[in-house]
Amino acid sequence: MLEERERKEPVMNPFQKNESKETLFSPVSTEEVPPRPPSPPKKSSPKICGSSYPLSIAFIVVNEFCERFSYYGMKAVLTLYFLYFLHWNEDTSTSVYHAFSSLCYFTPILGAIIADSWLGKFKILSLVGLSLIALGTGGIKPCVAAFGGDQFEEEHAEERTRYFSVFYLSINAGSLISTFITPMLRGDVQCFGDDCYALAFGVPGLLMVIALVVFAMGSKMYKKPPPEGNIVAQVMKCIWFAISNRFKNRSGDIPKRQHWLDWASEKYPKRLIMDVKALTRILFLYIPLPMFWALLDQQGSRWTLQATKMNGNLGFFVLQPDQMQVLNPFLVLVCIPLFDLVIYPLISKCGINFSSLRKMAVGMILACLAFAVAAVIEIKINGMAPLQPGSQEIYLQILNLADDEVKVTVLGNGNHSLLIESIKSFQKTTNYSKLHLKTKSQDFHFHLKYHNLSVYTEHSVEEKNWYSLIIHENGKSVSSMMVKDIENKTTNGMTAIRFINTLHTDVNISLGTDTPISVGEDYGVSLYRTVHRGEYPAVHCKTEDKDFSLNLGLLDFGASYLFVIINITNQGLQAWKTEDIPANKMSIAWQLPQYILVTVAEVMFSVTGLEFSYSQAPSSMKSVLQAAWLLTVAVGNIIVLVVAQFSGLVQWAEFILFSCLLLVVCLIFSIMGYYYIPVKSEDIHQPADKQILQGEVINLETKNTKL
């Protein structure tokens, strides 16, 4: 059973020979191996409030809080910046978002190489990572977690395990505040007459400066393990030599060796080979992990886009679509202490061996369920959305702006009636009528009966569009004009408005943007303008000779409105309001279950995996393994990018696809985890000579063969 395997102790050396350490360390090859730098003198660092936690941890955690505030604050508004400001479509916005995320999680491998082989974790954090923000995330990510773990003495392994939970709490505290504040800076503040993206990106940049200052303040308290040479290059050379040496010695007369990396023993020292063995075992276990991140990171892209199709009015508060992401860090802050102090101890008391790998597998299953719920929500949203016209179809609504009732007959080819309606003056239509075309484009004839007059007119239409037939007075008769409505009947959470001006003079309408809406005289029609959801009780308007204001009322999430500016006797200038597209009906609160599921999944998978990666890593390769962990995030984002660009699936089907893929990956990961035997923390962190002494016995057969 898996729990039995995980309880096994590492093989200990039963033979204690009085060999010198030089004999144990000397490689059999003549190639020179870079010497290990001398160990720094043991330094007793001050503790926090008499506990076993080093005071230096406080500076590292605060630094991580500020850096994560910057990163997540910028990412919170990124998708909507692409969608609203750059006017990219949803697939392109999603792809670029995940391409950026992938790059942020790919550069840590470069940062880890520099940290382990050249500058060390402290210098790469303070000098490179925080000075060059564009590449800085690659310098910070692989180092800060491992650097914090380095501050603990080996006898404080339990406190070090708890540190990773505190570390993750600081990440999500920064994320919580930033994902709540930056959307407010974007939407509630106006810069240059539009959303203030400059402020939304500028405040996170300021936090990076604060992160640098805080981290530098603790400089004298840090334990700074020196770099240990170009570890990545040594690992790659060792692996390559082992593979090539194995192929050179394929004869059946040559005895087999316990491990394929033992074939490098002719050239490389035992310590390096042991470390590479531990590294490759963990890297093999990392292979299925990217699929989890492919789901988790869609909170900032696909889930935010889903939120734009929902109603953010909660009664006591109105949430913007990108503010819904604040749920994740908030729930993480709740779940981490809940799991560490309550749930995990209860499971342990029940006699269940809830190992790290089992926690990660359960996290994968919960993420699958989260995306299944997201798919159900998406199907429900689609059911409430306006119908889309198909091939050789249009939707038509008729607006009567005349002073009396008008009977409208729509005539098709052969003058047979397609639609007959009697429309009262300023009657608000409830829906569009579907009309079928003979070809992709067609001319429709309209018969308008007004008082005792009959007016015939003709208008051209094209398939897959929405149209409004505007009827208005023309002297003692009536005229009509055909206006194409908004091309895409979804407004991505924004409110779309346009105006018809019945006055005999041009009108300029100011909505707080840099360019006013200009509407021509005598039934001129403006272009659409998108605005934020809210109340607009007094919108400033101006003609050549007077200023006035219009009450537009509530402009709700996802709706499209048409306003007709009219002059009513004894009431002055008014705005007659009609709703072309109804507001989003489904509350954004329905996303709560999927956020709860994915957050619990993250706590069980990510926090556990972070600590597991550190505990299983050889002491010389901790930053490299942390970078490899982050590299799985990069690959996960690439998966989303590929699916978004090439799948061609509707959104709910895409959610189901990701859910099923992760379920399959979870099964594979569980099988791999069954055969994985964890290394004890005290064994992986023990002195090098003791590790090699054990390695001599483990590889005794190899050494005899070599002799």
| Higher per-residue pLDDT: 650 or 195 | 650
pTM: 0.72
Which pLDDT score, from 0 to 100, does residue 371 have? 96
3-state secondary structure 468-480: EEEEEEECCEEEE
Average pLDDT over every residue of 415-420: 83
**Angstrom distance (rounded) from CA 373 to CA 2:** 31
Instruction: Examine the pLDDT at 276 and tell me if it is beyond 90.
Output: no
Q: In this structure, is the dihedral angle defined by the CA atoms of residues 180, 183, 188 and 192, taken in order, positive or negative?
A: positive
Contact yes or no for 375/659 (Cβ under 8 A)? yes
Instruction: Examine the pLDDT at 488 and tell me if it is beyond 80.
Output: no
Q: Residue 157, class by beta-carbon neighbours within 10 Å (0-12 exposed, 13-18 middle, 19+ buried)?
A: middle
pLDDT grade for 247, boundaries at 50, 70 and 90: confident
Distances (CA, A) of 247 to 225, 464, 542: 38, 64, 85
pLDDT grade for 703, boundaries at 50, 70 and 90: very low
**Angstrom distance (rounded) from CA 90 to CA 87:** 9
Buried-state track 41-60, b at ≥16 Cβ within 10 A, e below 16 = eeeebeeeeeeebbbbbbbb
| Higher per-residue pLDDT: 20 or 117 | 117
| Phi, psi (rounded to 5 degrees) for 366 | -65, -35
Share of residues in the chain with pLDDT > 90 (%): 29
**3-class DSSP assignment, residue 251:** coil
Which pLDDT score, from 0 to 100, does residue 513 have? 60
Average pLDDT over every residue of 387-407: 91
Closest C-alpha among 431, 366, 258, 444 to residue 604 = 366
DSSP code per residue over 367-435: HHHHHHHHHHHHHHHHHHSPPPP-TTEEEEEEEE-SSS-EEEEEE-GGG-EEEEEEE-TTPPP-SPEEE
Contact yes or no for 676/8 (Cβ under 8 A)? no
Tokens 């984002």 locate to 637
Q: For 69-100, how does the pLDDT look when each residue is reduced to its tens digit (9 = 90+)?
A: 777 777 777 777 777 777 788 888 888 888 87
**Angstrom distance (rounded) from CA 538 to CA 510:** 10
**Angstrom distance (rounded) from CA 68 to CA 70:** 5
Cβ neighbours for 570, distance < 8 A, ≥ 6 positions apart: none
Q: What share of the chain is helix, strand, coil (3-state, %, to 5)?
A: 55, 20, 30
Which pLDDT score, from 0 to 100, does residue 1 have? 41
H or E stretch covering 456: strand 453-462
**Angstrom distance (rounded) from CA 672 to CA 289:** 12
Amino acid at 347: I
Closest C-alpha among 111, 117, 165 to residue 143 = 111
Q: How many residues does the chain have?
A: 707
Q: Residue 460, class by beta-carbon neighbours within 10 Å (0-12 exposed, 13-18 middle, 19+ buried)?
A: exposed
Closest C-alpha among 308, 289, 441, 480 to residue 378 = 308
Q: Residue 156, class by beta-carbon neighbours within 10 Å (0-12 exposed, 13-18 middle, 19+ buried)?
A: middle
Closest C-alpha among 428, 487, 484, 479 to residue 458 = 479
Within a 10 A sphere around the Cβ of 674, how many other Cβ atoms?
12
**Angstrom distance (rounded) from CA 338 to CA 306:** 29
Which pLDDT score, from 0 to 100, does residue 416 have? 79
Which pLDDT score, from 0 to 100, does residue 659 have? 96
Which tokens hold the place of 307? 């939120």
Cβ neighbours for 589, distance < 8 A, ≥ 6 positions apart: 314
Question: Chain-wide mean pLDDT for the chain?
Answer: 78
Out of 127-136, 290-299, 482-491, 594-603, least confident range: 127-136
Q: For 291-330, how does the pLDDT look when each residue is reduced to its tens digit (9 = 90+)?
A: 999 999 898 889 988 998 899 888 888 888 878 888 888 8
Which pLDDT score, from 0 to 100, does residue 151 have? 65
Q: Which of 132-141, 239-248, 375-384 has the highest mean pLDDT?
A: 375-384
Average pLDDT over every residue of 652-679: 91
Which pLDDT score, from 0 to 100, does residue 222 have? 66
Which pLDDT score, from 0 to 100, does residue 117 have? 55
**Angstrom distance (rounded) from CA 480 to CA 401:** 10
**Angstrom distance (rounded) from CA 128 to CA 227:** 15
Helices (H), ranges, 301-393: 302-307, 327-338, 344-349, 356-384
Share of residues in the chain with pLDDT > 70 (%): 73
Which pLDDT score, from 0 to 100, does residue 9 have? 39
Average pLDDT over every residue of 539-554: 92
3-state secondary structure 579-629: EEECCCCCEHHHHHHHHHHHHHHHHHHHHHHHHHHHHHCCHHHHHHHHHHH
| Higher per-residue pLDDT: 28 or 612 | 612
Distances (CA, A) of 700 to 12, 87, 280, 695, 705: 13, 66, 21, 8, 9
